[in-house]
Amino acid sequence: MRMEDVGTRQKHCTELLDLWNGGLFILLSKSECNRTEREKDMIEQLTFSIELLKKHLTNIASDYHEKFYQDIIQHLPKNAEEIKDENSPSNRILS
């Protein structure tokens, strides 16, 4: 995964987190005695989802393994024709 991909994923998750926090704020702003059962369920679900998304956001950066991919790329042949695809029909033994 490239660093740009990590940044894009983090940006989208942060935007989603902001949206969910806004929805939760609106639901919590309503007086507790005036909340419907559906609104109470939504508060519970949003709270759980927000916590889960926060954990995911902390793990996004750790999913990025630049050194691992860099090593793979460094070991590729310089000439693209030297790269063999084992599943390619030209590499199969015909009987």
Domain count within the chain: 1
Mean pLDDT of 55-80: 72
At 66 the pLDDT is 65
Mean pLDDT of 63-80: 69
Q: Is residue 81 part of a domain?
A: no
Q: Is residue 30 part of a domain?
A: yes
The answer to whether residue 40 scores a pLDDT higher than 70 is yes
Q: Is residue 91 part of a domain?
A: no
Q: Is residue 84 part of a domain?
A: no
At 77 the pLDDT is 72
Q: Is residue 48 part of a domain?
A: yes
Q: Is residue 58 part of a domain?
A: yes
Mean pLDDT of 59-73: 68
> Taking all residues of the chain, what is their mean pLDDT, rounded to a whole number?
79
Structural domain for 35, as ranges: 3-68
- SS3 string, the chain, reads CCHHHHHHHHHHHHHHHHHHHHHHHHHHHCCHHHCCHHHHHHHHHHHHHHHHHHHHHHHHHHHCCHHHHHHHHHCCCCCHHHCCCCCCHHHCCCC
pTM above 0.85, yes or no: no
